């Protein structure tokens, strides 16, 4: 059987499609559960993932049509179809990436009131979208007719492929720089917000995961200069196809993680509640003295304390800027304590008429 990078391409792309989907769904779950508010950043992130899904599906189809095989082993007729699906798929990947970044930028815009922060973020939004649209247009506009892009035997003409390659490299470098800037922005914006220090650091760290997208972008860009020299293009293109999706996938994950904070806190709160419940103690108080009436009291008290934390005063409104407004009882710690008292009275040691009382307070 001929060697092929096809299986590696398919597995890598579907993993990179499934993982961000899970994180994105958790983000939406947290928003639906805690805030019930969805914004443009949520819809743009969903659109980005849909484009990622389309890219993966089209590249999967292209693998069926010989992409991933050595050029010498590929069926030329099938390969024309495979290259067509590959180019169309890459267009969706090029459009998915700026949408994910735009979603993250909109989240950052809600966190800052500093004008120069907003100016930088808006510049990133506009510039990265224009550049990616330009790369997409150049890719499909380099050949006349466009079908000659995947079927070199057709009559027509194409630009020198170095034009598109060099422009793609320039855009790739710029995209890497944008990822670095977006990783630094949370440190500039959030470090001044009034939040618990440990939680503030956690949010900043989560929102700075975009630096991993920069690494993926750099790896992908490093392959671009070699594309024009590959004699075995159909086999070697595997790394470009895989790393080309990694940047968008990481961006979706990085944009989703900060919104999982309330879910994590709820799980921790429930774990703490269970620990307190299992560790609750019972106190048996016996009256060791007998009065002249010969009465005795047997008192048993059971305490169960739990808390559900919706927000702290030291978090103020800063946390809610990221995750949305919490439902009810904002800025409070609610505590319910239930105490059960059982007692009995008797006139002698052998008989008891038991009674119980239960009360709770908030």
Q: Give the model's confidence band at 349: pLDDT under 50 very low, under 70 low, under 90 confident, else very high.
A: very low
**Which is more confidently placed, 300 or 242?**
242
Asked if residues 148 and 166 have their Cβ atoms less than 8 Å apart, the reply is no
97-113 pLDDT, tens per residue?
999 999 999 988 988 88
| 189: confidence class by pLDDT, cuts 50, 70, 90 | confident
Query: How many other C-beta atoms are found inside a 10 Å radius of the C-beta of residue 34?
Result: 21
d(CA 83, CA 63): 9
**Encoded tokens for 246:** 């990694």
Q: Is the pLDDT of residue 360 over 70?
A: no
Distance between CA atoms of residues 241 and 260, nearest Å: 30
pLDDT tens sequence across 130-171? 999 999 999 999 999 999 999 999 999 999 989 999 999 999
Domains of the chain: 6-265 (1.20.1070), 280-361 (no CATH)
Mean pLDDT, the chain, integer = 78
Query: Is 118 within 8 Å of 195 (Cβ atoms)?
Result: no
Average pLDDT value for residue range 48-64: 98
Using CA atoms, how far apart are residues 165 and 350, in angstroms rounded to an integer? 97
Residue 231: predicted pLDDT = 84
Which long-range contacts (C-beta less than 8 Å, at least 24 apart) are formed by 134-141? Answer: 134/167, 134/171, 135/94, 135/164, 135/167, 135/168, 135/171, 136/91, 136/94, 136/95, 138/163, 138/164, 138/167, 139/87, 139/90, 139/91, 139/94, 139/164, 140/87, 140/91
Number of residues written out for the chain: 362
What is the pLDDT, as a whole number, of residue 175?
95
Cβ atoms < 10 Å from Cβ of 7: 10
């Amino acid at each position: 059987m001929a060697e092929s990078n096809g299986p590696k391409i398919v597995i890598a792309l579907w993993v990179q499609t499934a993982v961000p989907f899970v994180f994105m769904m958790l983000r939406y779950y947290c928003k639906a559960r805690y805030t019930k508010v969805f914004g443009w950043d949520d819809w743009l992130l969903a659109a980005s993932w849909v484009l990622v899904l389309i890219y993966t599906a089209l590249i999967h189809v292209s693998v069926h049509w010989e992409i991933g095989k050595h050029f010498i082993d590929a069926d030329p007729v099938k390969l024309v179809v495979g290259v067509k699906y590959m180019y169309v798929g890459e267009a969706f990947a090029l459009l998915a990436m700026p949408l994910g970044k735009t979603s993250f930028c909109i989240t950052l815009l809600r966190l800052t009131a500093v004008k120069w922060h907003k100016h930088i973020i808006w510049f990133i939004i506009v510039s990265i979208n224009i550049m990616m649209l330009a790369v997409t247009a150049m890719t499909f506009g380099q050949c006349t007719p466009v079908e000659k892009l995947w079927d070199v035997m057709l009559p027509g003409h194409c630009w020198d492929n170095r034009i598109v390659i060099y422009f793609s490299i320039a855009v790739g470098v710029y995209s890497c720089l944008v990822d670095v800037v977006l990783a630094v922005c949370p440190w500039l914006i959030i470090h001044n917000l009034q939040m618990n220090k440990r939680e503030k650091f956690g949010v900043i760290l989560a929102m700075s995961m975009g630096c991993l997208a920069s690494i993926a972008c750099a790896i992908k860009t490093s392959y671009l200069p070699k594309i024009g020299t590959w004699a075995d293009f159909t086999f070697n293109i595997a790394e470009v196809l895989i790393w080309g999706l990694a940047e968008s996938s990481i961006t979706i994950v990085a944009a989703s993680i900060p919104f999982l904070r309330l879910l994590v806190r709820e799980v921790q709160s429930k774990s703490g509640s269970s620990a307190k419940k299992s560790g609750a103690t019972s106190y048996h108080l016996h009256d060791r003295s007998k009065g002249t009436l010969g009465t005795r009291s047997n008192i048993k008290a059971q305490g169960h304390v739990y808390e559900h934390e919706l927000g702290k005063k030291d978090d103020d409104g800063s946390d809610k800027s990221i995750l949305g407004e919490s439902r009810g009882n904002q800025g409070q710690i609610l505590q319910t304590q239930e105490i059960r008292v059982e007692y009995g009275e008797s006139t002698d040691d052998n008989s008891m008429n038991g009674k119980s009382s239960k009360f709770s307070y908030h």
